[in-house]
């Protein structure tokens, strides 16, 4: 068992011991001593250990702890407002025990708020949530979150950083991708009602970042509209977020070209699904669904599209779902070679390609959802506050007089 896993095991045993034995009991002291020693041993190799608890997943730094999957305490800690836990510098034994008492109180006393007491007692232990800063649902207590402050600015920066990590180090940070998806989900429900915060493109070289966030939002919305389980909604959100990951391998001059691509440039562009799937598979993350979607999201129902398949076959349902969301956002976004399409022209276009390019089931449900939730669209700039009502603010993309030519494969 790895050092992080050993510490978490001792950490859970200490909490269990403290719940059974009162202060001063030898068994309680032994449990705390054991957990504290495991922490010191862990810090000997990892001076600033950082844990993230995302559902049944436990992330240490940026790598999932496979041996702790479905660890019973992960969900309990997250529900108590401890989704991220960091130990910095030297942690004293007294501070560690006080921290354990704080955690135990959060786990056992509904509605307890110890934030004020903790802020008056600075320690080297920080914890908080992965969510929207400032929302009433998810209080943050000391550890900066990797998410948004009622805007999409930090999400954009996180995805830019994630793309840079993949491009430069070929390392895919799962914890950050999961954090973005979860905070987008919170933003979608931040006003006690569904709202679709779609990001407005500012510069063409930011298209992949903007598009990835929007497709993630739309994919989660459609999965939720289909009444899928929360875990599936998040999985589809991650798949939508990473579907165009292969574009980190495409030269920027091709991605932002104003005219039609040359045949050679088209070959390069059409490699991005294969490159994206390879990058995801080669990472140390368990993201098989995201890899499949990255590979299949440009394959049409009739077998056309790319990468070319020798025999016509069915794509995964997640690929079919993301494909519809992908094309919708691509057409609704201004590109170097065309203006944005208005929604009243995008939906009929998608509907007309049902059974040929798109799965008819997802087309029907997507159009039904968009027409029902049209007032819930909120087009925002990445530095602007997220609107609290469902109405789209000023600055939404302008509608051209008629649908321009589509340059296939560049969404």
Distance in angstroms between the alpha carbons of the first and the last residue of the chain = 44
Residue 328 has a pLDDT of 95
pLDDT tier at 300 (50, 70, 90 boundaries)? very high
Q: Which residues pair with 379 in a beta bridge?
A: 198
Q: What is the pLDDT of residue 141?
A: 35
Report the alpha-carbon distance of residue 238 to residue 241 in Å, rounded: 5
Region 343-372 average pLDDT: 95
Which pLDDT band holds residue 46 (cuts at 50, 70, 90)? very high
Mean pLDDT of the chain: 79
Give me the mean pLDDT over the 222-234 stretch.
91
The pLDDT of residue 201: 61
Instruction: Determine the pLDDT at residue 204.
Output: 57
Q: pLDDT at position 304, please?
A: 92
Q: Is the pLDDT reported for residue 305 higher than 90?
A: yes
What was the pLDDT predicted at 193?
59
Other residues' Cβ atoms within 10 Å of the Cβ of residue 123 = 18
What band does 124 get if pLDDT is binned at 50, 70 and 90? confident
Which range has highest mean pLDDT (114-128, 184-198, 220-234, 276-290)? 220-234
Q: What is the distance between the alpha carbons of residues 255 and 257, in angstroms, rounded to a whole number? A: 6
Say if domain 153-380 classifies as CATH 1.10.1750.10.
no
Taking the mean position of all CA atoms in its chain, how far away is CA 400? Answer: 32
Q: What is the mean pLDDT of residues 314-324?
A: 94
pLDDT at 355 over 70: yes
pLDDT at position 320: 96
What pLDDT, in 10s, does the model give residues 149-159? Answer: 335 677 788 88
Calculate mean pLDDT across residues 185-197: 69
User: What distances in angstroms separate CA 39 from CA 35, 82, 110, one per listed residue?
Assistant: 6, 18, 28
Q: Work out the number of other CB atoms within 10 angstroms of the CB of residue 270.
A: 18
- Which residues, 6 or more positions from 74, have their beta carbon under 8 angstroms from its beta carbon? 53, 54, 55, 56, 57, 58, 68
Q: What is the mean pLDDT of residues 404-408?
A: 46
Q: Which residues touch 313 (CB under 8 Å, ≥6 apart)? A: 303
Q: Residue 383's pLDDT band (boundaries 50, 70, 90)?
A: very low
Distance CA 97, CA 54 (A): 24
Question: Does the pLDDT at position 402 exceed 50?
Answer: no
The whole-number pLDDT of residue 8 equals: 96
Q: Above pLDDT 90, what percent of the chain?
A: 40
- Contacts of 262-268 with CB under 8 Å at 24 or more apart are 266/409
Is the confidence at residue 195, as pLDDT, over 80?
no
Where does the pLDDT of residue 191 fall: very low under 50, low under 70, confident under 90, or very high at 90 and above?
Answer: low
Mean local confidence (pLDDT), 351-376: 92
Looking at residue 109, its pLDDT comes to 58
pLDDT at 145 over 90: no
Sequence-distant (6+) residues with CB within 8 A of 222 are 236, 321, 324, 325, 362, 365, 366, 369
Predicted pLDDT of residue 151:
54
Q: Tens digits of per-residue pLDDT, 72-82?
A: 888 888 777 78
What is the pLDDT, as a whole number, of residue 90?
85
Asked whether the CA dihedral 87, 93, 98, 103 is positive or negative, the reply is positive
| Pairing mode of beta strands 63-64, 84-87 | unpaired
What are the extents of the domains in the chain? 3-128, 153-380
């Amino acid at each position: 068992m790895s050092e992080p896993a050993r510490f978490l095991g001792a950490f859970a045993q200490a909490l269990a011991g403290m719940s059974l034995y009162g202060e001063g009991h030898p068994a309680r002291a032994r449990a705390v001593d054991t957990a504290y020693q495991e922490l010191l041993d862990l810090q000997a190799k990892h001076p600033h250990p950082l844990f993230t608890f995302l559902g049944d997943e436990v992330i240490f730094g940026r790598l999932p702890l496979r041996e702790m999957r479905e660890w019973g305490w992960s969900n309990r800690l997250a529900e108590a407002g401890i989704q991220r836990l960091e130990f910095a510098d030297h942690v004293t034994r007294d501070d560690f025990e006080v921290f354990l008492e704080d955690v135990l109180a959060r786990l056992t006393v509904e509605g307890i708020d110890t934030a004020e007491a903790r802020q008056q007692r600075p320690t080297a232990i920080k914890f908080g949530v992965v969510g929207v800063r400032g929302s009433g649902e998810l209080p943050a207590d000391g550890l900066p979150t990797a998410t948004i402050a009622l805007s999409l600015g930090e999400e954009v920066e996180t995805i830019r950083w994630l793309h840079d990590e993949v491009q430069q180090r070929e390392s895919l940070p799962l914890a950050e991708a999961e954090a973005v998806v979860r905070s987008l989900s919170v933003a979608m429900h931040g006003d006690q009602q569904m709202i679709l915060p779609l990001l407005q493109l500012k510069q063409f070289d930011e298209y992949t970042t903007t598009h990835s966030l929007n497709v993630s939002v739309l994919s989660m919305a459609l999965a939720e509209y289909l009444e899928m389980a929360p875990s599936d909604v998040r999985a589809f959100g991650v798949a939508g977020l990473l579907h165009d990951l292969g574009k980190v391998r495409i030269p920027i001059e091709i991605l932002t070209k104003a005219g039609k691509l040359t045949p050679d440039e088209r070959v390069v562009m059409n490699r991005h699904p294969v490159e994206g799937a390879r990058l995801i598979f080669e990472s140390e993350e368990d993201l098989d669904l995201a890899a499949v979607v990255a590979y299949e999201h440009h394959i049409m129902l009739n077998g056309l599209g790319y990468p070319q398949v020798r025999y016509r076959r069915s794509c995964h349902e997640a690929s079919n779902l993301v494909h519809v969301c992908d094309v919708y956002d691509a057409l609704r976004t201004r590109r170097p070679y065309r203006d944005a399409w208005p929604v009243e022209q995008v939906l009929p276009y998608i509907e007309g390609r049902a059974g040929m390019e798109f799965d008819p089931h997802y087309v029907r449900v997507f159009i039904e959802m968009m027409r029902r939730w049209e007032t819930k669209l909120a087009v925002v700039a990445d530095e602007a506050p997220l609107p609290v009502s469902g109405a789209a603010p000023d600055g939404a993309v302008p509608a051209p007089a008629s649908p321009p030519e589509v340059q296939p494969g560049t969404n």
